[in-house]
Amino acid sequence: MIGNQTKGKSFRGLLDYLENKEESSLIGGNMFGTNARELAREFRLSRQLNPEAEKVVHHVSLSLSPGEQLDNDTWCEIADKYMNAMGYTANQYAIYRHSDRNHDHIHICASRISLDDGKITRDSWEYVRSEKIIRQLELDYALQQTLSSKEKLNRAPSVGQQRRIEREQLEYEQGERNTPPQQSIKTQLIEVIDRATVDKPTMPQLMERLQLLGVEVRHGLTRNGKSKGISYSWNDQKFSGTSLGPAYTFPGLQKHKEIDYQPQRDELRIEQLLLNPVKPTSMEQVQKLLIEIDSKQQKPQFVPPAEDESLWSALENYLTQQRGITNFLVQPLHRQGLGYIDQQRNVVFIKRGLDGEKLGALVWDTARLDNRCTEYPENSDGLRPAGGDRSQGWFHLKLGGEADDKIERVYLCSSPIDALTMAEIDREGHKGQPPVRTMYMAVDDPDNLPFELLRNISRIGLAFNNDDQGNEAAQVVHKMLPQAKRIAPKGLSWNEVFVRERRQQQEMLEQKQRSRGFSR
């Protein structure tokens, strides 16, 4: 059985993904909800216990070997035992089973916040603990013993080391030892290297990171310029790359860890680092480095759905004539590839990160009265290498001020069409561009907010739809961001109000024109 773990911020994003997969079923857990929406609402109970915490979603996938099969009850037993053994004894979690592949597997969506005390469940050594728990579950349920890809690429601890850890763990649990057992120096070093390589840096960057983390690195070349290998020293113990495993040799780092090495570019910098190793100035610097590494963990690049260029004029006409959005916004939308009709005749809006990177897509059914969108299916799979969370991205646009000005105002809306509508209303109110840099964003899920940006902005308008979902979203966001103000439309959505007022103005204008013509 193979286990994978990821952390994220959005319960609703993960739950939507788990629920919308083909042959998906909610089979267990310790919650009352029966679908993604109900479960996401229930997860807010634990989130409210620790509102400052960010990555509070814990996602686990457990997969059997090809040919193995379990019933739902057995899967639930395994999931319950796994979560309890991992320390999730007072945490909310839901279990989904997927049967869309040739291997039977489940997904567990859990809150990292304990309902007992509101604290984050500890995650130290969680990958090592997870592998040990999985090995025991395989024995308990007569499942095939499976090595993870990580285990195949590094050298496992010796039998003596493993027995020592197990003995010390038993002593700790029985109160005969004050501290839990420590992993071997070798295992600790492997985990340090794994963490330093997670975002696939260049070889000099990797060496500099390891030095800052206290690892001494040695590397040499033959006269022909070929690598003699790489070795490491950690806590006064020396290890060759070969002794750690195939992934930790000099060529193995490039092959298995995808470390970028270009001799002509890198050799001078590597030589400088070996002669004058970089040393951390403080623990704060080390912690900052680790946070930076974690934040750079790469995800598969999102590929937007292909556009059907022949259908653009139809969408342009619909947006301008039926929805009241002027070409001032419609043309840049198309020019930047943020709104179009794809080859399956879906109306697509692109989600981006705050830096402008395209991270996902939304599909708009123009017949929906509330104008809300659904996630593009390819986005649901393509951004989850291990079944992880929906990547952070939103449909948004900016107006006013200069392009590089700091954002001073934000309108949060229920849909892309309402974000465009608020931009039009704002332009009309200011008879042109708004005076300061303003963002209009579609984000109707309080679990997926750009909180780091919004917490420092004093003027936030909650322009969500005037329905149960929009009002609930506004209440939750207001608790998180007290400076935000509710701006409810006098109708279901802001576009509905905008279009209605436009038509009334047009009718009044036509009436005046007819009146003038009659008077002559």
Distance CA 81, CA 336 (A): 50
Summary mean pLDDT of the chain: 84
Which tokens in the block code for residue 213? Answer: 């983390």
CA distances from 192 to 186, 206, 248, 286, 308 (A): 10, 11, 12, 12, 47
Nearest to 189 by CA among 208, 213, 166, 205: 213
Q: Which two tokens stand for residue 132?
A: 């040990």
As to burial, measured by CB atoms within 10 angstroms (0-12 exposed, 13-18 middle, 19+ buried), residue 310 is exposed
Listed residue (243, 217, 219) closest to 229, CA to CA? 219
pLDDT bin (cut points 50, 70, 90) of residue 101 is low
Range from 94-108, 165-179, 187-201, 206-220 carrying the lowest mean pLDDT:
165-179
Per-residue pLDDT at 125 exceeds 90:
no
Cα-based angle 33, 415, 350 (whole degrees, multiple of 5) = 105
Model confidence over 23-74: pLDDT tens digits? 889 999 999 999 999 999 999 999 889 888 888 999 999 988 877 889 999 9
Residue 163 pLDDT > 80: no
CA 96 to chain centre: 19
Query: Lowest mean pLDDT: which of 30-44, 139-153, 392-406, 438-452?
Result: 139-153
Q: Distance (Å, rounded) from C-alpha 139 to C-alpha 234? A: 34
Fold classification of 2-146 is: BirA Bifunctional Protein; domain 2 (3.30.930)
Residues of the chain with CATH 3.30.930.30: 2-146
User: What are the CA-CA distances from residue 362 to residues 52, 62, 377, 393 (Å)?
Assistant: 28, 29, 9, 11
Q: Which residue has the higher pLDDT, 229 or 419?
A: 419
Over residues 360-419, the pLDDT tens digits come to 899 999 999 999 999 886 434 333 333 334 456 899 999 998 877 889 999 999 999 999
Which amino acid type is present at position 189?
A: L
The CA distance from 80 to 89, in Å, is: 9
Cα 418 off chain centre by: 25
pLDDT, residue 388, reads 36
Higher pLDDT, 431 or 285: 431
Categorize the per-residue pLDDT at 139 as very low, low, confident or very high, splitting at 50, 70 and 90: confident
d(CA 2, CA 135): 10
Rounded CA-CA distance 186/155 in Å is: 9
In DSSP notation, 364-428 reads E-TT-TT--EEE-HHHHHHT-TTS-PPPS-BEEEEESS-TTSPP-EEEEESSHHHHHHHHHHHHH
- Nearest Cα to 450, choosing from 482, 476, 412, 404? 412
Of residues 147 and 204, more confidently modeled: 204
Average pLDDT value for residue range 220-239: 78
The pLDDT of residue 175 is above 90 = no
Residue 344 tokens read as 């399956």
- E strand or H helix at 358, and its extent? strand 358-364
pLDDT of res. 392: 66
pTM, two decimal places: 0.47
Could you report the per-residue pLDDT of 264-281, keeping only the tens digit for each? 888 888 889 989 998 876
pLDDT band, very low/low/confident/very high, at 354 (cuts 50, 70, 90): confident
> How far apart, in whole angstroms, are the C-alpha atoms of residue 240 and residue 261?
19
What percentage of the chain has pLDDT greater than the value 90? 43
Query: Who has greater pLDDT, 228 or 22?
Result: 22
* pLDDT value of position 148: 53
Residue 18: pLDDT over 60: yes
- Whole-angstrom Cα distance, residue 79 to residue 73? 10
CB atoms within 10 A of CB 83: 22
Amino acid present at 349: F
